[in-house]
Amino acid sequence: MSAVMKEEGFDYAFNPQACESCQARCCTGESGYIYVTKNEIESIAKFLKMDVNEFVPKYLFKKMYKYSIKEKKNGESYECIFYDSKTNGCGIYEARPTQCKTFPFWDYYKTRVDELKLECPGIIDV
Ligand code: SF4
Ligand code: SF4
């Protein structure tokens, strides 16, 4: 059983058990940016046993000076290209970017807990 997670400086906690019945609302739904750093690009390409020069145009797009992971449309939902709805899992889980690892503890949500609760059913008031 996964324990409830807390982070210093955040007014909420997170229950990872909620992920089991959630269908990955954080990887799907509204279109968004999933930023990857240069090191993360190299790690994900390595994980997929791909050359970086092949990986970048296939899975990423440029947003200003950063790279973001592409999405695919599933009905009305925009899903991360690495999200697999059949297994409800991430195809690059071991190499997923920091942005994914640190969700739902993003600075952005510190002052937007109501918005976060609409996205993630695992959020608990503390
Ligand atoms: S939205 Fe929240 S509960 Fe759902 S998969 Fe993502 S982290 Fe888990
Ligand atoms: S990389 Fe994995 S964890 Fe991150 S949004 Fe895509 S499917 Fe979700």
Closest CA to 96 of 115, 81, 118: 81
> What is the tens place of the pLDDT at every residue in 78-110?
999 999 999 999 999 999 999 999 999 999 999
**Is the minimum distance from the CB of 96 to ligand 2 under 6 angstroms?**
yes
Beta bridge partners of 125: 12
List pocket residues of ligand 1, CB cut-off 6 Å. Answer: 18-19, 22, 24-26, 103-104, 119-122
Distance 27 CA to ligand 1 centre (A): 8
Best CA proximity match to 88, nearest among 18, 31, 19, 29: 19
Instruction: Output the pTM of the full model.
Output: 0.93
CA distance 98 to 68: 12
Atom of ligand 1 nearest to the CA of 18: 3
For ligand 2, atom 2, the nearest C-alpha belongs to 90
Q: How many CA atoms lie within 13 A of 33 on its CB side?
A: 11
Average pLDDT of 51-75? 97
